[in-house]
Amino acid sequence: MITKKKLIERVIIVGAIVASIAAVMLGSKLYDYYLSVTYPKSNLYGTWVEQNVASYAASEFVLGPTGVTIDGGNVATSYSWDGTYLEYSVGDEKRRFIILNEAFTEMRLISQPHYQAVFHVRESQK
């Protein structure tokens, strides 16, 4: 039989665990909010075109409020942006870019180690 002292001790431990989990979840939400205010996704809106390749072979994609569009089709409805890195998924493939300048007009694909294409924004939609 559990004594009253043991019961109180267990309730306090469970309460501390629940409070810790809630604090971590709240902290995560606050950090996401901070990123969205400090680095709005609208900084990246526009048509991004691969550089240093023939124009007919250049990859291009559009970032906008509805997600990522490639060849007129929406391939991702969400993407993450933390002020330095842009990430989105196309099927099972994750694409990760690093922003190369403070004007948010140039980025490099870093998710493919064998080929790191550079993209410039052609049409900004800010």
Question: What pLDDT shows up at residue 111?
Answer: 92
**CATH code, domain with 70:** 2.40.128
Same domain? For 3 and 63 the reply is no
Token couple for 106: 């140039």
Same domain? For 32 and 64 the reply is no
Same domain? For 4 and 25 the reply is yes
What residue numbers bound the domain in which 112 lies?
Answer: 41-124
Same domain? For 29 and 54 the reply is no
What are 41-91's pLDDT values in tens digits? Answer: 888 999 999 999 998 999 999 999 999 999 888 898 889 999 899 999 998
46, β-bridge pairs: 63, 124
Distance, CA of 87 to CA of 44 (rounded, Å): 12
Same domain? For 1 and 27 the reply is yes
Same domain? For 25 and 51 the reply is no
The answer to whether 109 and 117 have CB atoms below 8 angstroms apart is yes
Same domain? For 59 and 9 the reply is no
User: Cβ contacts of residue 11 below 8 Å, gap of 6+?
Assistant: none
Question: What pLDDT shows up at residue 89?
Answer: 92
Same domain? For 105 and 53 the reply is yes
Distance, CA of 107 to CA of 30 (rounded, Å): 27
pTM, entire model: 0.75
Same domain? For 77 and 62 the reply is yes
Q: What is the DSSP string of 40-71?
A: -GGGG-EEEEE-SS-TTT--EEEEETTEEEET
Q: Does position 125 have pLDDT exceeding 70, yes or no?
A: no
